Amino acid sequence: MSDHSLTEPLLPNGTSWELDKIVQELRSARNDWRKQRGRSREPGLRELPSRDVLQHIIRDLCGALFPMRLGPQELREETEDYYVGHTLDAALNELLRQVQLELNYFARLHHNLTVELQLNVQANQIVRLFAAALPELRRTLDVDIQAAYQGDPAARSVDEVLLCYPGVLAIIHHRLAHTLYQLGVPLLARIVAEMAHSLTGIDIHPGAEIGRGFFIDHGTGVVIGETAVIGERVRIYQAVTLGAKTFPTDDKGHLQKGLPRHPIVEDDVVIYAGATVLGRITIGKGSVIGGNVWLTRSVPPGSSITQASSCQQAPQEIDV
C-alpha cells in the first residue's frame, strides 16, 4: 500500500481528511482498550462470531424448515429433499465455525486453558444436537403458525401468516436462538434474537422458555425477559412487557446475573396491548390481563385483570 493510499484527494477548498492520523489514533484507542482488559490478539485472528454470516445461516435454516414457502422461488417439490439436505449441510458447516469462534472467544476471555481440540469436539457436539433438534422445532413452529392463523380473524391462510406476520418471524428466530442458548452458545443465540428484534420490534431474550401455540399479534414493542416462562397457547399483543421489577446486586454493587426475575405465564393466558407484567410472579392458567395494566403481583387461574381491578386490589404493590 503506498504512503498516500489513505490520503483523501484535496477538496476544492483545499481541505483533506487527514486519514493517516485518524487511523493511527484509532489503532491507539483499540490497543489501549485491549491493554486495560488484559487482552491480546493474534495477528489475523477474528475473535467474535459474524452477524452477517449468522444472517445467512438463519435465512438458510428458515428455507430448510419451510422449503416451499421460505426457500428459493424456483424450487420444486421433486427436488425438495435435495435442496433441504444441501442447504442444511452448508448452513451447519457455517454454524460450526461460528460456534468454534464463540467457544474460543470465551475460553480466552476467562483464561480457560482448554485446548483447541477439546473445543472443536465440543463445537461439533453442539451443532450435531442443534441439527437433531430441527425436526421437532419445525413441528412446534407449525403449532405456533396455526395458533396465529386461528387467533387473527384477518388472516386468510397459514401461508399468509408465515410469510407476513412479524410475530411469526420473531418466534421462528426465538426457537432457533433458544436451542442455541440451551446448548451453551449464548452469544450466538443473542445475535440471532437481536436480528428478529431489529426486523420486527419484538425483543425476546433467547433464554425465555415459551410453550407451543404462542402467538404475538401485531407485535411492535413486545419485550420478554431472559427468565420468563410462558406456557402453551398463550397470546399477547403489541407493547406487552414481561420484565423484571428489581435488579439485585452483590456486596460490591454489581448486578447478579441469571436470577429468576421475570414472570411465569401459565397456559391459555391472553395479555392485551400495553400491559406491563413485572417480577417473578405467576399469571394463572386461563387468565386475561387487560390493556395497559401494570401488574406486579401473582393472580390465580381464571383471573380477569383490568386497570381498575389491578389498582383497587393491590395499589401498594404497583411500581411507578
Cell 485472528 belongs to 45
Among 183, 166, 280, residue whose Cα is nearest residue 225: 280
pLDDT of residue 230: 98
Cell 395458533 belongs to 147
C-alpha cell recorded at residue 161: 401468516
Does residue 315 register a pLDDT over 80? Answer: no
Does residue 310 register a pLDDT over 90? Answer: no
Does residue 116 register a pLDDT over 90? Answer: no
- Helix, strand, or coil here: 255? strand
The residues spanned by each domain of the chain are: 47-200, 221-320
Cell 422458555 belongs to 209
Q: What would the pLDDT profile of 135-147 be if each residue is shown by its tens digit?
A: 999 999 999 999 9
Give the dihedral of Cα atoms 220, 226, 228, 229; nearest 10 deg.
Answer: 110
Summarize the confidence of residues 151-174 as an average pLDDT. 97
Q: What would the pLDDT profile of 35-55 be if each residue is shown by its tens digit?
A: 887 776 655 567 899 999 999
pLDDT of residue 318: 33
pLDDT of residue 314: 44
**221-320 has the same fold as 47-200:** no
Query: Which amino acid would we find at residue 257?
Result: K
Which residue spans within 150-205 are E strands per DSSP? 203-204
Rounded distance between C-alpha atoms, residue 192 and residue 205, angstroms? 10
Q: H helices within 66-79, ranges in order? A: 67-70
Share of the chain above pLDDT 70, in %: 90
Q: How many CA atoms lie within 13 A of 106 on its CB side?
A: 13
The CATH architecture that domain 47-200 belongs to is Orthogonal Bundle (1.10)
Summarize the confidence of residues 273-288 as an average pLDDT. 98
Is residue 282 within a helix (H) or strand (E), and if so which, with residue range? strand 282-283
pLDDT of residue 239: 97
Q: What would the pLDDT profile of 178-190 be if each residue is shown by its tens digit?
A: 999 999 999 999 9
Does residue 109 register a pLDDT over 60? Answer: yes
Rounded distance between C-alpha atoms, residue 242 and residue 266, angstroms? 13
Among 200, 188, 23, 193, residue whose Cα is nearest residue 106: 188
pLDDT of residue 26: 95
Q: What would the pLDDT profile of 80-100 be if each residue is shown by its tens digit?
A: 999 999 999 999 999 999 999
pLDDT of residue 42: 58
Domain covering 221-320, topology: UDP N-Acetylglucosamine Acyltransferase; domain 1 (2.160.10)
Q: How many CA atoms lie within 13 A of 271 on its CB side?
A: 35
Rounded distance between C-alpha atoms, residue 174 and residue 187, angstroms? 14
Q: What would the pLDDT profile of 192-235 be if each residue is shown by its tens digit?
A: 999 999 999 999 999 999 999 999 999 999 999 999 999 999 99
Exposed/middle/buried for residue 201 (C-beta within 10 Å: 0-12, 13-18, 19+): middle
Summarize the confidence of residues 151-164 as an average pLDDT. 96
pLDDT of residue 224: 98
